[in-house]
């Protein structure tokens, strides 16, 4: 089957070995199937995204021998589309404006009747603003998805067995079911529009992947959990459902995942050390095997 793949880096730093692995995997999959490969620059966060990194991404991918089909998509140009889709979810009665600050959320979670168990749990929003109407919305509000309303929207629990996604990556290979309990227990009422940027990573990714006709999403395993949210949004917005391939993450000698902040693993550093592209690919493969 022909696959349409993409590489979607955020221009907040130089690409490292892990990015090279990800981009090459997606690109090769599109090549072997005579499909298409697109580049999407995820520059929604205007304070952290820098033009210099976008230029560097293009240069580094070229140097890896990766080419892509036009056009390059810039998320910063697509705000009206995200707003339009968000309005749809608002009209469906599934959202509410949230005025809580990070501090408010933290404090409400520290209340004695809400013990913090597990790392994720303390980040789950307790639903303080759930009953706030849009008539009370002010400029600085975020917009959240009311997860408990989602079940009603689908007409009850019986709908959920159909809400699946197929993972082709090595660690979580198989079909995964999205259930209200899982969504509530792991994510709660997720932010669909951040107050500063008017959208969110989750919303933008599903809208863009559908717009670009992506049939398989290749990306790092660290984003696997978000796929449950993405699958839900795809269903609500009636978008086509791709498959997902989450690849293993490349780690440093201490077992820590590579970060853009660590200059020793950037492609630029490796090239400067005299490594060629094949050697870089070989290191990447060795790191995860």
Nearest approach in angstroms of CB 10 to ligand GLU is 4
9 binds ligand GLU (CB under 6 A): yes
Nearest approach in angstroms of CB 13 to ligand GLU is 9
Closer residue to ligand GLU, CB minimum distance, 10 or 200: 10
58 binds ligand GLU (CB under 6 A): no
Nearest approach in angstroms of CB 180 to ligand GLU is 24
Which residue in the set 193, 205, 234, 258 belongs to the binding site for ligand GLU (CB under 6 A)?
205
212 binds ligand GLU (CB under 6 A): no
Site string for ligand GLU, 220-239 (x = CB under 6 A): ---x----------------
Pick the piece of the chain touching ligand GLU (CB under 6 A) from 7-15, 61-69, 161-169, 236-244. 7-15
Nearest approach in angstroms of CB 12 to ligand GLU is 8
Which residue in the set 8, 178, 192, 212 belongs to the binding site for ligand GLU (CB under 6 A)?
8
Question: According to the 3-state scheme, what is the secondary structure of the chain?
Answer: CCCEEEECCCCCCCCEHHHHHHHHHHHHHHHHCCCEEEEEECCCCCCCCCHHHHHHHHHHHHHCCCCCCCCCEEHHHCHHHHHHHHHHHHHCCCEEEECCCHHHHHHHHCCCCCCCCCCCHHHCCCCCCCCCCHHHCCCCCEEEECHHHHHHHCCCHHHHHHCEEEECCCCCCEEEECCHHHHHHHCCCCEEECCCCCCCHHHHHHHHHHHCCCCEEEEEHHHCCHHHHHHHHHHHCCCCCCEEEEECCCECCCCCECCCCCHHHEHHHHHHCCCCHHHHHHHHHHHHC
The site for ligand GLU (CB under 6 A) is made up of 8-10, 42, 205, 219, 223
């Amino acid at each position: 089957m022909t696959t349409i793949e993409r590489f979607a880096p955020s221009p907040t730093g130089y690409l490292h070995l892990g990015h090279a692995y990800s981009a090459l995997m997606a690109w090769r999959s599109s090549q072997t199937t005579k499909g298409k490969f697109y580049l999407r620059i995820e520059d929604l966060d205007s304070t952290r995204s820098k033009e210099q990194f976008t230029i560097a991404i293009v240069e580094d991918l070229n140097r890896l021998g990766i080419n892509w089909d036009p056009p390059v998509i810039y998320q910063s140009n697509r705000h009206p589309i995200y707003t339009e889709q968000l309005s749809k979810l608002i009209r469906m009665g599934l959202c509410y404006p949230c005025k809580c600050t990070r501090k408010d959320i933290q404090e409400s979670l520290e209340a004695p009747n809400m013990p913090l168990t597990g790392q994720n749990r303390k980040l789950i929003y307790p639903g303080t603003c759930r009953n706030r109407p849009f008539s009370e919305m002010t400029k600085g509000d975020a917009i959240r998805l009311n997860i408990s309303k989602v079940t009603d929207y689908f007409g009850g629990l019986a709908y959920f067995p159909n809400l699946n996604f197929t993972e082709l990556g090595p660690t979580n290979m198989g079909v995964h079911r999205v259930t209200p309990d899982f969504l509530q227990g792991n994510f709660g009422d997720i932010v669909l529009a951040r107050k500063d940027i008017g959208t969110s990573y989750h919303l933008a990714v599903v809208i863009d992947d559908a717009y670009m006709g992506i049939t398989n999403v290749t990306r790092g395993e660290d984003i696997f959990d978000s796929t449950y949210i993405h699958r839900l949004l795809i269903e609500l917005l009636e978008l086509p459902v791709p498959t997902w391939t989450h690849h293993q993450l490349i780690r440093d000698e201490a077992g820590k995942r590579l970060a853009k902040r660590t200059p020793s693993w950037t492609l630029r550093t490796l090239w400067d050390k005299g490594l060629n592209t094949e050697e870089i690919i070989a290191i990447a493969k060795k790191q995860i095997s």
